[in-house]
Structure 1
Amino acid sequence: MAQVKLLITDFDGTLVDTFKANFLAYQKAFDKYGLELTEQQYRDCFGFRFDDFMTHMGIKDDETKQSIRLAKGEFYPLYFDKLVVNHSLLNLLKKFKLSGGLTAVASTARKENLMNALNFIDAADAFSLILAGEDVKHGKPNPEIYNTVLERLNILPSEAMVFEDSSVGIEAAKQSGINFVIVNSCFFS
């Protein structure tokens, strides 16, 4: 058994329930370009990387994709009041870092959106490292983002623990050889 030296958390759905804020921002972005997005359509795609989401929604035109991406980023902060923070996990991460441990966020979200949300909930300083979607080539379930965290912080998989809510994130942790904790709605109460 090895001492845990690093705690890694996913962001969307794990550290913060961002579903409502993301959905409303995307819905407004879609509407801006004459497209419709229902809550069920978004729920079916939640956790997808942006390009996979656009493909699933049948949006193939690169200009439209980029316009939606930019508009979503513009509208997202308007809905930050809908973010639900997982205070039990955030407090654990802050205390772990304060006690000398390393902490990281490993999210497929856009860096700008992720940093805006982390700053809004006053949590950016709680992390030794923050990785976002553009920091890696492959999204989860590919283990690249977790392997990158380990490499940058010089930590062995056996010395880390991941907090995840999605099956793709759990698969990425497994492929990295990192133990994990499945975060569900009980963490938010």
Structure 2
Amino acid sequence: MWLYVCWVQVYEPTNIKTRTERKVEIPDRKISEIELEITSETVLFFDMDGTIVDTNLANYLSYKKAIQSITNSDYHITYNPDKRFNRSNLKKEVLNLSEVDYKRIIQKKEEYYVDFLNEIKLNNEVSNILFKYSTTNKTVLVTNCRKDRALQILNYFQLSDKFDYIFFREFDGNEKINKYKNAINKLNISPNKVIVFENERTEINDAINAGIDENKILSL
């Protein structure tokens, strides 16, 4: 049994990044080391893209197919496994793209994503932790992924029932909220009980600014 919670991006001055926010170096730790700190009271927070799963290739192929579909042109876009293709790349790769076609490509990309689920790779080290502790500890998915795409991935890998709570991302305005602070507040838990698995540097900073001990964050 799990509960999913959509968090909405809204304008909240307390969540806007400022110069007073902490930015520290995360210790280079192995999963086996951080696992030693898991107790029965620990709440495990997992990011998804780049953490539980590697979606870069599926994301790239979805964009490529969408670009071909809308422009009727076969653009030569090189795949870089270490760099995620995003909307900024789209405007750089497809020059003179109208705003209408830009939005159509993004929409088509979401539609085509299901065609490339087989290109997503499960991170076995992280998923093994999830499988191992999902029956003994609270497990929480905290992702910036859209709800529909996240559910496609979770269902494909049969991960949905491994989480007690799932926080998705939705858009309502342009300001970014701290996904970790949001989850901690809504679940009414102490950040001292949380261990985080995350790959994005900016999101790691958010976890620290939410009060989570940097020694309890595994940077992937």
Report if TM-score (shorter chain) is over 0.5.
Answer: yes
CA-based RMSD: 3.1
Residue identity (%):
24
- Matched length: 177
Deviation at 1:9, TM superposition (A): 1.0
In the TM superposition, what are the counterparts of 1:7-22 in structure 2 within 5 Å?
7-22=44-59
Equivalent runs, 1:44-59 vs 2, <5 Å:
44=83, 46=84
Structural mapping, 1:33-182, within 5 Å: 33-34=70-71, 36=75, 38-39=77-78, 44=83, 46=84, 63-99=100-136, 101-134=137-170, 144-178=178-212, 179-182=216-219
Normalised TM-score (structure 2): 0.68
Structure 2: segments with no counterpart, 5+ residues:
1-36
Larger radius of gyration: 2
CA contact (8 A) 1:2 1:159 kept: no
Q: Which blocks of at least 5 consecutive residues in structure 1 are unaligned?
A: 184-189
Residues 125, 32 of structure 1: alpha-carbon distance in 2 compared, 3 angstrom cutoff: same
TM-score by length of 1: 0.78
Distance 1:37 1:43, change over 3 A: farther
Relative contact order (C-alpha < 8 Å, sep 6+): which is higher?
2
Deviation at 1:70, TM superposition (A): 2.1
SS in 1 for 2:108: helix
Q: Quote the Cα distance in structure 1 between the aligned partners of 2:193 and 2:89.
A: 34
